Amino acid sequence: MKFDTPATTNPIDRLEAVGKPFDRIDGRFKTTGTAPYAYERHDVAPNAAYGYVVTSGVAKGRIASIDVAAARAAPGVLGVVTWQNAGKLGQAKTHYARLLGGPEVQHYHQAIGLVVAETFEQARAAAGLVRVDYAREPGRYDLAAQLETAPLVGGDSGEGSASPPVHRTGDFEGAFAAAPVKLDAWYSTPDESHAMLEPHASVAAWDGDSVTVWTSNQMVAWAVRDLSETLLIPAEKIRIVSPFVGGGFGTKLWIRSDALLAALGARMAGRPVKVNLARAQVPNNTTHRPATMQRVRLGAARDGRIAAVAHESWSGNLPGGKPETATDQTRLLYAGANRLTSMRLAALDLPEGNAMRAPGEAPGMMALEVAMDELAEKLGMDPVELRIVNDTQVDPEKPERHYSQRNLVRCLRTGAEKFGWNRRNARPGRTRDGTWLVGMGVAAAFRNNLLTKSAARVRLDGRGVVTVETDMTDIGTGSYTILAQTAAEMMGVAVDQVVVRLGDSRFPVSAGSGGQWGANNSTAGVYAACVKLREAVAGKLGVDAASAVFAGGEVRAGGRNLPLAQAAAGGELVAEDAIEYGELHKKYQQSTFGAHFVEVGVDRFTGETRVRRMLAVCAAGRILNPKSARSQVIGAMTMGVGAALMEHLAVDKRPDYGFFVNHDLAGYEVPVHADIPHQDVIFLDETDPLSSPMKAKGVAELGICGVAAAVANAIYNATGARVREYPITLDKVLGQLPARA
């Protein structure tokens, strides 16, 4: 199905299933321990051996020698895989470093071997017997030291955020020099880890020259492609199965070393092999959000209207890697005729930097939205009103290009009213609650709406049960549920009459999970397949498909009410189709908007910050399931608090070392329930017919964009302490606290 004209009234608009807060279908499996996660696939891969990954102990250099004799002789060991006996391997185009290193070492904890044994304990013990001598080489690990030499580099996050090396509109320098009110400030964000609940894990089994890998992965079709390019075997010889994923946040968009090593280990052992990355291996072995240094310059008139905006960003990555696209939202969020954005990329020898929830916008708005707060202060203007004054209904760089929907002002005004923004004291450090200094902060939220082809297969059997098959994944987002709601709405059956099967490369290729593109596109793919199935049903029942109403398990047309199941009485009906997009997304700027409000308390003696309450107001098209969407947003808000206050991969920057020191959950802190006492989410009643037949958009990434800045702005309002270096730990606040009476 080609979607190239705006959606009109269609069966989804009945909203009998879509738009309702159904409990997640997968919930009972997860709470009863019956959800089949990758590492636990004893049912399909019995008698599996265990692999333990051997990782590099240096960040850069070469392996001078490796001795695996003692490991091979250890009890229970079936073999040891290294680059020396793995056979010829390729490197997927999406990988910046090889998944199996050696003899060259490209980053710390790069996989350099796998010990396979009868039990996990035997494999782990034997891995400790592998002896490696390295020829260490000095590396580059400090982004700040590369600021002067980092070249200008354009980039694309692959998630709707992209910028050229330098982009100009109008005359920024002239407008900035002439502006009566100016801001010029630097901000920094640290390296961050995804810290998902389920670590990277895979089980692999060969059948002749074909391999099946049960793995924890967000994008099944990408996994097939990447494994094919790495193993150098045809894609049709690879099956990927990933029906349940215990969190990903971007690090599982591509296969990692666990999947490759499980396949290599299974080929060597001649039986299934399971590989799980230990938690302490994940931050350095897989991907992370790269650190940034950002300079924001704003020039405004006395009434707050911005005349000049510049946003420059520096980030680092392995050679061949991409920059963190932290400037993209600045090109679209606020009005202003004179604009400059640029990105520079330093070559660093740290592990691979890549997508983490809202790559680009999340760290970019950590800077931009604090800069807006600082500008508001210079103007003596309310921060909410400053953002409203600079709203635009057109692309600031292409005024002829309108937004499909843009309700940022409604988000800000609704949030201000519901949060009690009028009770905020504009003078920092003036509101107290015992020993706590109390403040409020606000930030806008922005993320683009990405459209991508997505396919599905739907079946109708003689019982009237509808089955949906697509390689879409559920990473804890509720995919099973919203796809069931979509099929139920289209075919006129109850949600419990729909069976959803996901995460198998034998199913039609979906949009996959990532970048807040999954829900809108995958449901649109099911919509397209159901349109075909409705036509097949109508043909079997001898009614007109265009005028037929599918409801209550019946097909109503021409004065007749016919049971839906009757159409499949002679055998199952099957239909398959995909949603494909035309040029609407080029004619109109499609984005999602929101506003985050945060109240914090800061201890006036210790500088400890506590989040007291949070509110997110989101405008993101039709909300397909408000219960699961709310869960997505409050999870993102929680991650935003982590980015603001605690998350920070500490880098050992010495030339001969270069690794993330706090590479486990003992040293890498993330928020817990006690850190987040009260959160609320409001979804504006919005539909976007230019987005898809569902009239929906994504919302999951929108929930994190701007949160950290809102926390930072609230801390400033509470204390007068302006911290531009994240995370905002108490040592950065202490010296700026107001004098104690």
Q: What is the reported pTM?
A: 0.98
Could you tell me if residue 609 is inside a domain? Answer: yes
Q: State the 10-residue block means of pLDDT for the chain, 741 residues long.
A: 98 98 96 95 96 98 98 98 98 97 98 98 98 97 97 88 92 98 98 97 98 98 98 98 97 98 98 98 98 98 98 97 96 97 98 97 98 98 98 96 98 98 97 97 98 98 98 97 99 98 98 97 98 98 96 96 98 98 94 98 97 98 98 98 98 95 97 95 98 97 98 98 98 92 52
Q: Which of 78, 71, 201, 66 is nearest to 127 (CA)?
A: 71
Check whether residue 616 and residue 732 sit in a common domain: yes
Check whether residue 409 and residue 532 sit in a common domain: no
Check whether residue 404 and residue 473 sit in a common domain: no
Check whether residue 495 and residue 524 sit in a common domain: yes
Q: Length of the chain, please?
A: 741
Three-state SS sequence of 432-447: EECCEEEEEEEEEEEE
Distance CA 139, CA 159 (A): 30
Spell out where 461-537 has E strands.
Answer: 466-469, 498-501
CATH of the domain at 691: 3.30.365.10
Instruction: Look at residues 550, 584, 618 and tell me which one is the last residue of a structural domain.
Output: 584
Instruction: Look at residues 584, 602, 633 and tell me which one is the last residue of a structural domain.
Output: 584
> How many domains are contained in the chain?
2
Rounded to a whole number of angstroms, the distance between the first and last alpha carbons of the chain is 69
Check whether residue 696 and residue 720 sit in a common domain: yes
Q: Is 104 a catalytic residue?
A: no
Check whether residue 692 and residue 639 sit in a common domain: yes
Instruction: Look at residues 584, 606, 622 and tell me which one is the last residue of a structural domain.
Output: 584
Catalytic residue among 159, 198, 554, 701, which? 701
Distance CA 704, CA 641 (A): 9
Three-state SS sequence of 571-607: CCEEEEEEEEECCHHHHCECEEEEEEEEEEEEECCCC
Q: What is the pLDDT of residue 157?
A: 83
* Residue 356, both tokens: 């983490």
Check whether residue 536 and residue 668 sit in a common domain: no
Could you tell me if residue 647 is inside a domain? Answer: yes
Could you tell me if residue 554 is inside a domain? Answer: yes
> The domain containing residue 624 runs over which residues?
389-449+590-741
Could you tell me if residue 173 is inside a domain? Answer: no
Q: What is the pLDDT of residue 554?
A: 98
Check whether residue 573 and residue 594 sit in a common domain: no
111-117 sheet: strands from edge to edge: 77-81, 111-117, 49-55, 273-276, 201-207, 210-215, 238-241
HSE-CB of 139 using CA atoms within 13 angstroms: 29
Check whether residue 575 and residue 481 sit in a common domain: yes
The answer to whether the CB of 607 falls within 8 A of the CB of 600 is: no
Check whether residue 444 and residue 500 sit in a common domain: no
Check whether residue 469 and residue 497 sit in a common domain: yes
Check whether residue 560 and residue 614 sit in a common domain: no
